[in-house]
Structure 1
Amino acid sequence: MNYFLDVLKNKYAMFSGRARRAEFWQFYLFMVIGIVVFGGIGSVIRFPALVGIFYFAMIVPFIALSVRRMHDVGKDWWYIFIPIYNLILYCTEGTRGPNEYGPDPKGAVTADTLNTPPSTY
């Protein structure tokens, strides 16, 4: 739920940077839950457009998050339009360390550990 709220509050239309798999899939999960809930509420109160309003409110952050997810795997934004391949990329682990789109959202640091002796013996 924290990722969902973070995207809505801080990254609503942010198309630059990178997004982790957890951020993408948790946002997607709560968006689907919201569509089901607002669809149910809309049918109970006889206002079916309620789910459409929710959906259109979520389309911009979802596209922005999808673009940032593509950036995490090192691809350009237009890969979100390739039907099956984009699903594979959504499930793929992101590039470790910084790439051309920004720093690693996991905070992983790539270091040369083979040639560096440990700090304490």
Structure 2
Amino acid sequence: MNWYVDVLKKYAVFSGRARRKEYWMFTLFSVIISIVLTILDNALDINFLAGLYALAVLLPSLAVGVRRLHDTGRTGWWLLIALIPFIGAIVLLVFFVSEGKPEVNEYGPNPKYAPAA
């Protein structure tokens, strides 16, 4: 759960690098929360909880996505490839599951080996 809080603490930090674990655990946790809120919305016959949560985590999701791309040595602008239907999402998925560059790159040191702050 610490990784989720770390991502939210860096909610607008688009610099640096993010490990695969940080990205995917944040994504998993966000999807679970969205499902629970959608079920709650339907049960209570309201339609704003899931949308409000999606809006609240939009910026942190973009930031951790950019940092994840930085870890693979790519610029954050690659997020825009998701705008290409189907193909873009597949390419972005491949980038997100790729191993990060083990060496220091232009975006900083490898977070896997960096000392904990």
Q: Aligning the two structures, in what range does the TM-score lie when normalised by the shorter sequence? A: 0.7 to 0.9
Distance 1:90 1:62 in 2: 13
TM-score under structure 2 length normalisation: 0.87
What amino acid maps onto 2:3 in structure 1? Answer: Y
Query: How big is the shift at 1:86?
Result: 1.2
The Cα RMSD (Å) is: 1.1
* Paired residue total: 107
- Identity between Structure 1 and Structure 2 (%): 45
Structure 1 unaligned segments of length 5 or more: list them.
Answer: 109-121
Residue 2 (structure 1) aligns with: 2
Residues 1:34 and 2:33 aligned together: yes
Structure 2 unaligned segments of length 5 or more: list them.
Answer: 82-87
Query: How big is the shift at 1:97?
Result: 2.1
Deviations 1:8-63 (A, max 9, x none): 1x211110000000000000000100100111111122211111000110111000
Give every structure 1 segment of 4 or more consecutive aligned residues whose post-TM-superposition deviation is greater than 4 Å. none
Residue 53 (structure 1) aligns with: 52
Residue 91 (structure 1) aligns with: 97
Question: Which entry has the higher C-alpha Rg, 1 or 2?
Answer: 1
Distance 2:103 2:111 in 1: 9
TM-score under structure 1 length normalisation: 0.84
Deviations 1:42-95 (A, max 9, x none): 112221111100011011100000000000000011111221211101000000
Bigger helix share: 2
Bigger mean CA offset, 19-28 vs 76-85: 76-85
